[in-house]
Amino acid sequence: MQIFNDYKDHADFLTIYVREAHPTDEWQMKSNIKDDVCYAQPRNLSDRLAIANDFTKRFKYPVPFGVDDMNNPANDAYSAWPERLYIIDENGKIAYRGGMGPFHYNPAEVRSWLATRYGEVKHPETKPSSPPEKQGSEAGAKKTDVGIQELTSQ
């Protein structure tokens, strides 16, 4: 999440959870078991929200997180499944369209675009950091105008 931390003061970030890429009831991968991210394909929006809440809490995911509606408007608009990176400029135009993941998913290209636009972020030598602060224990959702459920702390 270093790219988020480096550029969050210059750009808005949003992760959108679309349908499950490797659900336990369809195409389970060994890596999901190893990484302990094993979920059945959600059958309704409540299931999708529950998975998103579990993921963001367990992994302390700092990036704003939205959840695609069950009719998948974000996935359909952005060909997002299984994973893809986009940069939308301040005029709402696609400035960068990354390749389809996992084989053409390249966060370094996003970092390069952001560095060109806002300047490269240099990092001093890293020292051990203190444990992250705990965030709110409950999260809810609010509907945005694009048919995406946005997770919010309560």
pLDDT at 108: 93
Residue 37 and residue 46: Cα distance in Å, rounded?
Answer: 18
Q: How confident is the model at residue 145 (pLDDT cuts 50, 70, 90)?
A: very low
Is pLDDT of 105 > 90?
Answer: no
Residue 37 sits in a domain of what CATH number?
3.40.30.10
Residue 125 and residue 40: Cα distance in Å, rounded?
Answer: 42
25-80 tens-digit pLDDT: 677 777 677 776 777 888 999 999 999 999 899 889 999 999 999 999 999 998 87
Specify the residue for token string 């960068």.
Answer: 96
Contact predicate 101/83, CB 8 Å:
yes
pLDDT at 140: 44
As a whole number, mean pLDDT of residues 2-17 equals 92
Residue 89 and residue 12: Cα distance in Å, rounded?
Answer: 10
Structure-block tokens of residue 39:
């979920």
As a whole number, mean pLDDT of residues 127-141 equals 50
Residue 154 and residue 150: Cα distance in Å, rounded?
Answer: 12
Residue 145 and residue 147: Cα distance in Å, rounded?
Answer: 6
Structure-block tokens of residue 8:
């969050």
Structure-block tokens of residue 13:
């970030």
The SS3 assignment for 16 reads: strand
How many domains does one find in the chain? 1
Amino acid, res. 119: G
pLDDT at 126: 67
As a whole number, mean pLDDT of residues 74-94 equals 87
Q: Which domain holds residue 96?
A: 2-153
Residue 124 and residue 144: Cα distance in Å, rounded?
Answer: 38
Phi-psi region of 92 (alpha: psi -120 to 50; beta: other; left: phi over 0): left
- Greatest Cα pair distance in the chain: 46
